[in-house]
Amino acid sequence: MKKQHTPIDDYRYKIANKEAWIGVGLVLINFIWWYGFAYGMGQKDPAEYTFILGLPAWFFYSCVVGLVVMIVLVTVVVKFFFVDVPLDDNDEVEER
């Protein structure tokens, strides 16, 4: 008789849950970065703005530099923290 596996018993759900929480953490880092620079530096009078590459400094740091930082962070997280798991059901593989 085959033993029935529930999804809770499957190790892949634990891995997916951990990776989902890492993704939520990356989203929070991105939002805090963007909000901090956009509203921290962008609340001055527009006449007092400093410009980098023709963009207001708050926009450059929040959007341009933030994009580069997030690309690097996501690449590092995927390379070192995410794992490759098989998507086939183990019972189906054994039957073949």
- Indicate if the pLDDT at residue 89 is higher than 90: no
3-state secondary structure the chain: CCCCCCHHHCHHHHHHHHHHHHHHHHHHHHHHHHHHHHHHHCCCCHHHCCEECCEEHHHHHHHHHHHHHHHHHHHHHHHHCCCCCCCCCHHHHHHC
| pTM > 0.85 | no
Instruction: Report pLDDT digits (tens) over 39-62.
Output: 988 788 888 899 999 999 999 999
Question: For the chain, what is the domain count?
Answer: 1
Which residue range forms the structural domain that includes residue 68? 9-83
Q: Which of 63, 60, 43 is nearest to 51 (CA)?
A: 60
Residue 72 lies in a domain: yes
Residue 1 lies in a domain: no
The mean predicted confidence, pLDDT, of the chain is 87
Confidence (pLDDT) at 5: 60
Mean pLDDT, residues 36-40:
90
Residue 39 lies in a domain: yes
Residue 58 lies in a domain: yes
